[in-house]
């Protein structure tokens, strides 16, 4: 019997950082709405500063570092993708359209055959 252990490390400091990031984000939105009488510049400045502060606090937490590492690895994998040439893309698109047309014809013929079989031959409703 194989057992796989999932080990999660959530220290109190990381939980506090995540709570602080959420609090900063909430404070940014609250400040945006509370500063409505002070003008758009003050509103947007408070929102942007609050969001940047929340992202910075999240970035220094362990989940934030894991998210950044995941993003870097995903970007590295994306760079390995070999994209088709224009000619290959057009050919594959044509193959897909041809397949769709053939399947549409097949399904239409199957539907009409079953309709003819049931309604005309078996039930005799269309005579």
Please, are residues 9 and 15 in contact by the beta-carbon 8 Å criterion? no
The one-digit pLDDT tens for each residue of the chain (127 residues) are: 556 665 565 788 889 999 999 999 999 999 999 998 899 999 999 999 999 999 999 999 999 999 999 999 999 999 999 989 999 999 999 999 999 999 999 999 999 999 999 888 888 776 5
- CA dihedral defined by 15, 21, 25, 30, rounded to 10 degrees? 70
Q: Which residues contact 112 (CB under 8 A, 6 or more apart)?
A: none
Alpha-carbon dihedral 109, 115, 120, 124, rounded to 10 degrees? 180
Contact status, residue 51 vs residue 30, Cβ threshold 8 Å: no
Give the whole-angstrom CA distance, residue 83 versus residue 103: 28
């Amino acid at each position: 019997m194989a057992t796989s252990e999932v080990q999660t490390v959530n220290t109190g400091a990381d939980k506090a950082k995540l709570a602080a990031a959420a609090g900063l984000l909430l404070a940014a939105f609250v400040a945006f709405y509370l500063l409505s009488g002070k003008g758009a510049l003050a509103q947007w400045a408070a929102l942007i500063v609050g969001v940047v502060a929340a992202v910075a606090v999240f970035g220094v937490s362990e989940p934030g570092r894991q998210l950044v590492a995941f993003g870097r690895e995903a970007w590295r994998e994306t760079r390995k993708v070999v994209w088709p040439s224009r000619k290959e893309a057009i050919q594959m698109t044509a193959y897909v359209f041809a397949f769709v047309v053939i399947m549409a014809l097949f399904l239409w013929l199957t539907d009409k055959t079953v309709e003819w079989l049931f309604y005309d031959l078996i039930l005799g409703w269309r005579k």
